[in-house]
Structure 1
Amino acid sequence: MTTVGLLYPGHAAEDDFPRLEITLDTDIRLPLFHTETGEDTYQPGVLLETGAPDRLSEGVEELRLAGAEALVWASPAGSFVYGWAGAHNQIATLARSAGLPASSTAFGFVHAARELGAGRVAIAAAWPEDVTTFFTEFLVAGGAEVVSSGSAGVTTAAEVASWGVDRVKELALAADHPDAEVLLLPDAALHTAAFIPELEEALGKPVLTASQVTVWEGLRLTDRRIWAPTLGTLFAARRPAPGAVEPKGIEVRE
């Protein structure tokens, strides 16, 4: 059994995580604690409050009691808005508070792009442009080259959470660029878990989404490798060794 604790801000697309847990279909558990968000708006000041240490510490004890072996702060914007160094400090504080390995979805995007060997990325964000700029700067600080970005200009997580596959695909296609090796859909309020392969087929390249990357990052912290191609290229990037395949859910340790 591997248990990854998730800290998720408010209520929007958190139902992606039970779907991911079922899709993995192994001994993976993803207990989730909802942190307070205050006003539902994508404004830098509000996002800074969302990622404040006292907000993140709220669910630590509950997740520890649930057997969490690692924690992931599942709010990209509530992390990268602090900048590269500030986001590192945020996660270091969370790790000390929990006494567990910790990370955030924002860092997960950096690590996942590296896992895929993708140096050039495109961003398809639902947020306003100023928030997307923070994410662009964060990725550049992490060593990525952002070749294109698009911002839908939506101001609330509630609206983003209502989007279906067609609207998400429209956003992705509009922001993509032929030079991008991977496309990022970084808003944690987007529902994407049910149709990542469909998005990848439409774009002809790997797609990284917030819920997918959050789970992958948590598993990375616990040294778990899961073969689940229905969750996209990220979960199919490393094939298990011959003879190591199990009927459902393959763990690959390196």
Structure 2
Amino acid sequence: MYGDKGRIGLIRPGITPSTEMDFHRYLPEGMALATAALPYQRVTLNGLSQMSDQVKTYAAMYRGFPFDLLVFACTTGSMVGGPGFDETLIRQMGEVSGIPAITTSTALMKAFSFLGVKKVVIVTPYSDALNTLEVNFLASAGYETAAIQGLGIEDTTVLPFVQPEEFYKLALAQDLSGADALFISCTGISAVELVEPLEKATGLPVLTSNQATIWYALRRIGYRAPLPGLGLLGRKPYAEN
């Protein structure tokens, strides 16, 4: 039966189906997913703010339905309001829906803590302005960015068509010395399939936005079994931290 092991309500930027496709690919049997797509015009600070302003409205549509968790799956969209913005969104989503909630930036920081990551190298599809936003948000939570490089994309019609190989090459071009992990940021791209090849190539834990979101969503609703395909994060036995 669909959802007899868990039901997740996904709220994602309406630019690409990559997040829900990754959820469907990696959710264990018996888990169900329902998706709402937010209007999203530009991959910019203003575009993110306009999108994130609608999260509360979309979360309210889930009220009264039997979901175990709501997920706002956008990395910089859950950072754009500054330090603690993810917690604000979580509170708002819970208040209007009556359902526990998480965001991608929350999931990422839980993954960092779980793996003991303090210093990270980041690759993104973003502009310098969004990269700076991400670095500052993570710094406010105690995480150091050793290096960050983006592709400078602001057009939402371009973002879905960046090939995974481009992020693979960009990741391997970074100086990873001294880093605890490599992070590929953005839920709107295809990157989860790069996790295990990059872990083999670099010897470091590798995280992506969708991978961390899926991992933490499942852990939050009580799923404790290994998660094949999600790298070290999915293999390491889970315990709350």
Asked if these proteins are the same fold (TM beyond 0.5), I'd say yes
State the partner residue of 2:13. Answer: 9
CA drift of 1:148 comes to 1.3
Aligned AA for 2:97? Answer: A
Task: Write out per-residue CA displacement over residues 57-115 of structure 1, whole angstroms, 9 at most, x where no aligned residue.
Answer: 225424763x3211111011111011113332222111111111111101111111111
Mapped to 2, the partners of 1:50 and 1:182 lie a distance apart of 29
8 Å CA contact 2:63–2:96 kept in 1: the answer is no
Q: Alignment RMSD, CA only?
A: 2.2
State the partner residue of 1:51. Answer: 52
Mapped to 2, the partners of 1:188 and 1:94 lie a distance apart of 19
State the partner residue of 2:43. Answer: 42
**2:234 alignment partner, SS class:** helix
**1:7 alignment partner, SS class:** strand
Task: Write out per-residue CA displacement over residues 23-47 of structure 1, whole angstroms, 9 at most, x where no aligned residue.
Answer: 343222222111122x2x2221121
Mapped to 2, the partners of 1:45 and 1:226 lie a distance apart of 40
CA drift of 1:6 comes to 1.0
Mapped to 1, the partners of 2:10 and 2:202 lie a distance apart of 29
Task: Tell me: CA distance 1:100–1:152, structure 2 relative to 1, closer, same or farther (3 Å).
Answer: same
8 Å CA contact 2:56–2:93 kept in 1: the answer is yes
Task: Write out per-residue CA displacement over residues 201-252 of structure 1, whole angstroms, 9 at most, x where no aligned residue.
Answer: 232211111111111221232232231232211111117xxxxxxxxxxxx9
State the partner residue of 2:215. Answer: 216
- TM-score normalised over the length of structure 1: 0.84
* 1:81 corresponds to 2:85: no
* 1:33 corresponds to 2:31: no
Give the fraction of aligned pairs with identical amino acids, expressed as a percent.
23
Aligned AA for 2:219? Answer: R
Mapped to 1, the partners of 2:201 and 2:51 lie a distance apart of 34
The gaps in structure 1 that reach 5 residues or longer are 240-251
- TM-score normalised over the length of structure 2: 0.89
**1:200 alignment partner, SS class:** helix
Mapped to 1, the partners of 2:230 and 2:64 lie a distance apart of 27
**2:190 alignment partner, SS class:** coil
CA drift of 1:189 comes to 1.3
The gaps in structure 2 that reach 5 residues or longer are none
* 1:68 corresponds to 2:72: no
Mapped to 2, the partners of 1:110 and 1:179 lie a distance apart of 19
- Give the number of equivalent residue pairs: 237
